[in-house]
Amino acid sequence: VVFLSLVATVHLKTVKQSDAKAELEAYIEEKKSEINPRYRLHYHVAPPVGWMNDPNGFSYYKGEYHLFYQFYPYESKWGPMHWGHVVSPNLVDWRPLPTALLPEEEMCFSGSAVVKDDTLVLMYTAHEITDVEPFFNETQYLAFSDDGVVFEKYEGNPVLPSAPNGNPDFRDPKVWKHGDHWYVVLGSKTDDERGRVLLYRSLDLISWEFLSVIGESTGEMGYMWECPDFFKLKGKHILLMSPQGMTPQGDRYKNTHQTGYIIGSFNYETFEFVPEVSFQEIDFGHDFYATQTTEEDGNRYLIAWFGMWDVPYPEDVDGWAGAMTIFRELDLVGNRILMKPVEAMTSLREETVWDGKLAENDVIQLDKTGELLVTGDLSQNIELEIKGSNGGGQVSLRWDPQVRKVVVDREGDVRQVEWLPLGSEVWRIFLDASSLELFCGEGEVVFSSRVYPDGGWQVVNLSPQALDVVAYKLRRSVPEP
């Protein structure tokens, strides 16, 4: 009887979940028509309606890339987290699938995905509200899918009920396989509020053994490390994470929270990560956080939330907020990770709008999208003004040969960093209806910033020198609103 009633309860729960999913899809369909398209991105993943933050479950399954994301469909601001879901054959063209995870007693916080015996397994943080201080608790859950579309939460959840020190901040599992074991890194903190990353392993993804702390803030690295990722790149190990609470130092750490990496070496026998190069930001723009990577065909691909906590989202009045960056491929040269747009991004080029010299004060008119390849003489100043054709969204991109810095000045809010070209001296600039991404050279320096132009884009050369410019209009690769 007990067994039968257990089966019945599970069945009832499943029915309720599928009703809730159908209702949600109907709601999204209906709400979509109310979206104001003015800032809607043409080739960046964004929520169909409502709010998006972190990328989750970035993986390759049954011939397609899967990307999930922190999603709150009912308002253009953060709320009880769902997992939105999109798929792509090439990391450029994306089509939506039904919302993969809906909150029940737990909010579905960030996590990752792996393929085990032909099943796509999601591991994510269940964030629960409690009535005792600190009024929340975090544990790790699993969910399974055999078709990559419909996901069932594991009945034995949680699989990881608490951090070794019992700290309730215990989230964002990133799983990978090495040898016979599955490994997971999780973001957490010490009792005296220093961010740290915990490492566990398992043979079945269900019972986990705590192994070590692979990274820990000494204090100046912040009070919490979110969204850790740990992977091998060119013979080194990279600990990539998003620390909260770092104090700005000159040009560095100017966003609300940071995302960056430590290069080191790791030993699968002692479970010790030995840092060799200290923390560096991976992107220097205004809106970049909570990265996740996956490896496929020997390449390491990265995606990030094209956003930031506690900043305005001008699109929120239009019925949506937040987006993903374009997908990037990683490389490691010397002490730095290089980040390049994935190769397939060139398939977006639809029409050449400009090809030749752009003299001082010359203007290129673009519609909502564009890619520009800009080359100038780096012994002289460069200044490109990029702004809305009807006003708004003004950014100045500059090169200062005296200090050898690239500057992204978004209406007076400056991000800048030294650039030492390793080869190519080209600036590759991606413009979408409300965003700008600048890749310098081989990807030594990258800036990702949301910018909100009225109308299309205008690019003006304010440099004393003529620049060589190729500009393309880019096609749409995500669904129309």
Least separation in angstroms between residue 122's CB and ligand FRU is 13
- Residue identified by tokens 């190519």 is 424
Question: Residues touching ligand FRU: how many (CB under 6 A)?
Answer: 13
What does the DSSP 8-state code read for residue 224? E
28, 40, 122, 172: residue in contact with ligand FRU (rule CB under 6 A): 172
Beta bridge partners of 50: 320
110 binds ligand FRU (CB under 6 A): yes
- Residue identified by tokens 């599992």 is 173
Specify whether the CB–CB gap between 276 and 321 falls below 8 A: no
For ligand FRU, give the closer residue by CB, 57 or 370: 57
Residues 6+ apart with CB under 8 A from 229: 174, 185, 238, 239, 240, 241, 291, 292, 293
Q: Which residues of 171-209 are buried (b: 16+ CB within 10 A; e: fewer)?
A: bbbbbbeeeeebbbbbbbbeeeebbbbbbbbbeebeebe
Least separation in angstroms between residue 138's CB and ligand FRU is 8
Amino acid letter, residue 159: V
Site string for ligand FRU, 59-88 (x = CB under 6 A): -----------x----------x-------
Q: Which two tokens stand for residue 16?
A: 């309720």
Least separation in angstroms between residue 84's CB and ligand FRU is 12
For ligand FRU, give the closer residue by CB, 82 or 387: 82
Amino acid letter, residue 466: A
Q: Which of residues 127-166 bind ligand FRU (CB under 6 A)?
A: none
Q: Which of residues 280-309 bind ligand FRU (CB under 6 A)?
A: 289-290
Least separation in angstroms between residue 105's CB and ligand FRU is 16
52, 184, 227, 429: residue in contact with ligand FRU (rule CB under 6 A): 227
226 binds ligand FRU (CB under 6 A): yes
> Is 54 marked active-site?
yes
Least separation in angstroms between residue 258's CB and ligand FRU is 12
229 binds ligand FRU (CB under 6 A): no
DSSP-based three-state secondary structure for 360: coil
Alpha-carbon gap, residue 439 to 290, rounded angstroms: 19
39, 61, 109, 230: residue in contact with ligand FRU (rule CB under 6 A): 109
21, 45, 53, 287: residue in contact with ligand FRU (rule CB under 6 A): 53
Q: Terminus-to-terminus CA distance in the chain, angstroms?
A: 50
For ligand FRU, give the closer residue by CB, 55 or 443: 55
Specify whether the CB–CB gap between 176 and 114 falls below 8 A: yes
Q: Which two tokens stand for residue 277?
A: 């190069």
For ligand FRU, give the closer residue by CB, 24 or 422: 24
Specify whether the CB–CB gap between 404 and 77 falls below 8 A: no
For ligand FRU, give the closer residue by CB, 172 or 371: 172
3-state SS, one letter per residue, for 89-149: CCCCCCEEEEEEECCCCCEEEEEEEEEECCEEEEEEEEEEECCCCCCEEEEEEEEEECCCC
Q: Which of 19, 54, 229, 432 is catalytic?
A: 54
For ligand FRU, give the closer residue by CB, 80 or 314: 80
21, 40, 82, 171: residue in contact with ligand FRU (rule CB under 6 A): 171
Q: Which two tokens stand for residue 114?
A: 């792996």
Alpha-carbon gap, residue 442 to 242, rounded angstroms: 24
167 binds ligand FRU (CB under 6 A): no
CA angle at residue 327 from 321 to 329, to 5 degrees? 155
Residues 6+ apart with CB under 8 A from 47: 69, 71, 73, 84, 320, 321, 322
369 binds ligand FRU (CB under 6 A): no
Q: Which of residues 373-412 bind ligand FRU (CB under 6 A)?
A: none
For ligand FRU, give the closer residue by CB, 69 or 457: 69
Q: Which two tokens stand for residue 213?
A: 């702390």
54 binds ligand FRU (CB under 6 A): yes
258 binds ligand FRU (CB under 6 A): no
Q: Which two tokens stand for residue 356?
A: 């030749």
For ligand FRU, give the closer residue by CB, 294 or 463: 294
Q: Which two tokens stand for residue 445?
A: 């320096």
Least separation in angstroms between residue 107's CB and ligand FRU is 8
Active-site annotation, residues: 54
Instruction: Using CB under 6 A, list all residues that contact ligand FRU.
Output: 53-54, 70, 81, 109-110, 125, 171-172, 226-227, 289-290
